Amino acid sequence: MWHVWIPQCLGLLLTASGLAWAMQSYFPIYYVNMSLRTDLSDIVKYYQGEGTQKPQNTANFWVCEVVELGKDEPWIVGCVGLDLNSQTFPGSPEVRRMSVESSYRHLGVARMLMETLEKRGLEVHASKLWLEISVHQVSAIRAYTRMGWVIVRTLQYNWDLQVVRMCRVLQSSPSP
């Protein structure tokens, strides 16, 4: 009896591991494709905040550029977006697309981008900013925490996508 049951279980296990592999391969592709259909399809239009009550001619997507010695063209080393039409956090701006090139990390690029973004949040009268980040991005979560972000909760979106939801309460600096 065992000789029949073991191959069936082994077949089921191999099928489950194959499915797990396929899903791990699929979800990053799905995320990229979804991103290319939403905000990344037209960054200028999306981050101009169409449909919002914000001042005209203001950006909600920033890049950090450097000019290296001996090169004429600037090089983008970081970026961040502030989504004023967040589907995830209706009525509150969401931080999106935060990225810093690995060779420029730990040099203050992320902090500078976030300070710019938080200033913009205050300009549009936001009291809080929100973001979601994969639980696997441990160093980024630590960096956000050092910048004053608080972990609100961890969410399981599907069987393999677990994210940390974080919040930053904005406070305007006192007038001189």
Considering the entire predicted model, what is its pTM?
Answer: 0.72
- Residue 24 pLDDT greater than 90, yes or no: no
CA-CA distance, 41 to 95, in Å (whole number)? 17
Distance of CA 80 to the CA centre of its chain: 8
In a domain, 176, yes or no: no
Residue 154 lies in domain: 38-169
Q: What is the DSSP letter of 122?
A: H
Number of domains into which the chain is organized: 2
Q: Are residues 164 and 97 in the same domain?
A: yes
Mean local confidence (pLDDT), 100-108: 91
Beta pairing class for 128-134 and 161-169: antiparallel
Q: Are residues 21 and 87 in the same domain?
A: no
Q: Are residues 76 and 49 in the same domain?
A: yes
Per-residue model confidence (pLDDT) at position 23: 46
What is the identity of the amino acid at 83? D
- Which CATH number fits the domain that encloses residue 108? 3.40.630.30
- The string of pLDDT tens digits covering residues 27-75 is 556 666 666 677 777 777 777 756 555 454 456 888 899 888 888 888 8
